[in-house]
Amino acid sequence: MSKKDPCQKQACEIQKCLQANNYLESKCETVLQEMRKCCARYSQGRSICCSGFEREERERQKFKVTSE
């Protein structure tokens, strides 16, 4: 039996928010931030729900390094 994804609750909240707000991400910034916080708490690969957020963070870091 696999363990429950630690950020699944936040991922579900994002889906609910997006559906309720006609998929406008700007209306769901609070729940997106909660997801980012959750993903930051767990080591890479621990949460399947975080894969897109981990990729986003890698891109952000890459951009930060190249812009310095």
Q: What is the pLDDT along the chain (68 residues), one digit of tens a residue?
A: 457 899 999 999 999 999 999 999 999 999 999 999 999 898 777 888 998 887 777 777 777 677 76
Of 38, 54, 52, 40, the residue nearest 5 (C-alpha): 38
Answer yes or no: is 49 within a domain: yes
Residue 14 belongs to some domain of the structure: yes
Write down the pLDDT at residue 42: 84
The pTM score is 0.74
User: Nearest 5°: phi and psi at 22?
Assistant: 55, 35
Asked if residue 43 is part of any domain, the answer here is yes
One-letter identity of residue 58: R
Tally Cβ neighbours within 10 Å of residue 49. 20
State the CATH number of the domain containing residue 15: 1.10.287.1130
Q: Is 2 among the domain residues?
A: no
The single-letter DSSP state of residue 28 is: G
In a domain, 18, yes or no: yes
User: Whole domain around residue 42: which residue ranges?
Assistant: 7-66
Residue 2 has a pLDDT of 56
Count of structural domains, the chain: 1
